[in-house]
Structure 1
Amino acid sequence: MPQVLSINNEQLTAYLQDHVDGFKGPITLEKFAGGQSNPTFKVSAKSGVYVLRRQPSGKLLKSAHAVDREYRVLNALKDSDVPVAKVFHLCEDISVIGSMFYLMEYCDGAVYWSASLAEIDSNERRSAMYNEMNRVLAALHSVDVDGVGLSDYGKAGNYFERQLTRWTSQYRLTELKKISAMDQLSQWLEDNLPEDDGRVCLVHGDFRLDNMMFAKDKPQVIALLDWELSTLGHPYADLAYQCMQLRMPAGMGSIDGLKDIDRGSLGIPTEQEYVDLYCQRMGIERIENWGFYLAFSFFRLAAIAQGVAKRAAEGNASNEHANKVGAFVEPLAQMALQVVTQEK
């Protein structure tokens, strides 16, 4: 483990025993795979098993790695129809382990990294799992944000306009070299921004298969994970982001998409079937400007990948594969430009 991510177990144990009811040490820590943005650890203690998510050490971009926002939204959703892990404590004192962190329950389930669900031997089970993901997405977008205390969790106005400004800015701040496709894509998105239709809901920001924990014995999501990018925004952002990921080829970083795979042979719905099912659940007739939402999703993911690459170059990335992520920025932009052409 790199020194910038090291944790003093004794100091952490003493802090948690003072601030979390029933917590008892000693503890051992094990870092989970993934979690490039916010390092995540399994905490095995005398009192049970927990999960700790922390900000990375080093210089951080403003508004990035917002584990305090993660804690807030998880706590707000504890009694909702959205499956989330129970949170116990947020520590904003960086002297404890070197950065802000929060502690939550450990959910004993299964996380799947391949969108083809190759580990599942039943088409019926795969179909049910995709239906369950769709159900969770609709449940998330149906949350009464006023009722759960999240009415101020995001800004008012055109969500995609704000997001385009944000991710363009973050991309420029982390840019390691000029990439023509990213410049073209950024300009196209700016020129083709849809009018605001007034839809606002709680959005996850990174809604995808490997951010969901399923029960081991049935096609049920028991916890939606990694809420760092959640905010109030437009529901199509989450839907397009998930569909975008499924359009990607297998073996592209931690994301294993379905490009060139016959979905029907696996019991997995087509993109149109998945979108139609979501629209049915949400009472939406049809989605206009679908090409824009997909292209924006590619751009946003490319900007996120560029940020990971920048942190890796500075020695602050939390995942050993982070150095490779920068190579995906240009291919992602190229895929977005293909979407723009196809969806015209």
Structure 2
Amino acid sequence: MNAHPPGLDLARLAGHLQREGLTEGPLTAEMITGGKSNLTYVVRDGSGHSQGAGQSPARPGTFVVRRPPLGHVLATAHDMGREYRVMSALQDTPVPVPRTYHLCQDPDVIGAPFYVMEYVEGDQPPLTPRLAHGLVDVLAALHSIAPDDVGLGDFGRPDGFLERQVGRWKRQLDASRSRDVPGIDDLYVRLSQAIPGSGKAAIVHGDFKLGNTLIDGDGRVRAVLDWEMSTLGDPLTDFALFLLYGEFTTLDNGAPGEVPDTGELASHYAEASGRDLSRLGWYVGLACFKLAVIAEGIHFRYTQGLTVGDGFAEIGEQVAPLVARGLREV
């Protein structure tokens, strides 16, 4: 545990959370993700309190704090309120998420907005076909939840979702350009000229992968994490991205493992969700474009010295293979 973790002023955080009735006394913290996305910390207040999944004591004792990354942050990314709202809405649904405790939108407290959530025990074991099928079941369960039933009817704008996704990732690319990436603009053009019609809208996670979950010793999903890209839209964007992470395992911060058979997973998702997968190739191409843009943004921050932790030097090398994969699909 660190008394001065990067990006987290523990003295100011302690004062704020004590005023909110969540902690007692000084805090210690440990960073548990290295800043490829939002910064995440396990924080303890020394009270000796602890909690298990599903419990919500007045003072949790051990909890998790999430804040945006340091440095270059795009305007539409890293929305703490969005993550907090969707996880709060999904409490007590078939989708396992941590309990949420507190949202602070005031950047003066620790230098950025942040939220506090439950600390859930779990691991990220190597991916296996059995675990992949379990993750697909969770994804299908998420896509089966009616947004209005959990207070998320206004969480996004499903009409025109795919058009906006293509445009959004092009804008993100333009905002993070630091080098020439052959083929990436051609991929954008192909995607924009062949957008399929969307089926019934659903809550989409936006970055669903093994590395954004916690798994128990029996291979069951205990929590789905990292909801910063969630919205209402076309659920096949989630499924295609999950398939792609199985191929580009270095972009999934979970442990490497056996690459599942994509045809089997597609059949399993189609049966569990009732969705039409006839245009799945286009969605995989969009997933390639999205991941290429994200990887390029991370590469930009890395070259500027604005990342925290290890594992960033290789991220930029994934952009070209992603673009090539996308061009084969669209």
Length-normalised TM-score, structure 1: 0.85
Corresponding residue of 1:179: 181
Residue 134 of structure 1: aligned partner: 136
Q: Deviations over 1:225-276 (max 9, x none)?
A: 100111111010011001111123x556747777xx6x5xxxx5x2111111
Q: Are the equivalent residues in 1 in contact too, given 2:36–2:307 (CA < 8 A)? A: yes
Q: Distance in 2 between matches of 1:277 and 1:60?
A: 37
What residue is the counterpart of 2:68 in the other structure?
55
Paired positions, count: 315
1:145 paired residue number: 147
Structure 1 distance, partners of 2:173, 2:309, is 20
Q: Where do residues 4-43 of structure 1 align in structure 2 (5 Å cutoff)?
A: 5-21=6-22, 23-43=23-43
Instruction: Give CA deviations for 1:152-199 in whole Å, capped at 9, x if unaligned.
Output: 1111312211100000011011011121211121111112211x2342
Counterpart in 1 of 2:273?
282
Q: CA deviation at 1:131?
A: 2.5
SS in 2 for 1:180: coil
The one-letter code sitting in structure 2 at the alignment partner of 1:189 is L
The 3-state SS of whatever aligns with 1:37 is coil
Q: Which amino acid aligns with 1:90?
A: L
Secondary structure at the aligned position of 1:64 is classed as coil
| Equivalent residue, structure 2, for 1:120 | none
Give the direction of change, closer, same or farther, for the CA distance of 1:227–1:15 in structure 2 (3 Å limit): same
How far apart are 1:94 and its partner, in Å?
A: 1.0
Aligned to 2:96: 83
Match of 1:122?
none
Structure 1 pair 157–74 and aligned structure 2 pair: CA distance change class (3 A): same
Aligned 1:1-344 pairs, distance under 5 A: 5-21=6-22, 23-47=23-47, 48-112=61-125, 114=126, 117=127, 126-194=128-196, 196-216=197-217, 218-248=218-248, 251=250, 254=253, 268=260, 270-284=261-275, 286-340=276-330
Secondary structure of the corresponding residue to residue 205 of structure 1:
coil
Q: 1:192 to 1:256 in 2, by over 3 A?
A: farther
Q: Share of identical aligned residues, percent?
A: 35
Cα 1:160–1:256 change in 2 (3 A) is farther
- Structure 1 residue 136: deviation in Å? 0.5
Q: TM-score, normalised by structure 2?
A: 0.88
Q: Distance in 2 between matches of 1:16 and 1:184?
A: 49
Which structure 1 residue ranges, 5 or more long, are not aligned?
A: 118-125
CA distance, structure 2, for counterparts of residue 98 and residue 240 of structure 1? 36
Tell me the residue number matched to 1:123: none
> For the residues of structure 2 that align with 1:297 and 1:148, how far apart are their CA atoms?
27
Q: 1:187 to 1:287 in 2, by over 3 A?
A: same
- Given the superposition, is the C-alpha separation of residues 188 and 4 from structure 1 closer, same or farther in structure 2, using an over 3 Å criterion? farther
Q: Deviations over 1:319-344 (max 9, x none)?
A: 4333432222122111222334xxxx
- Return the alpha-carbon distance in structure 2 between the equivalents of residues 273 and 203 of structure 1: 22
Change (3 A) 1:203 1:85: same
Deviations 1:123-176 (A, max 9, x none): xxx443222211110110011211111111111312211100000011011011
Supply the AA of the counterpart residue of 2:18: Q
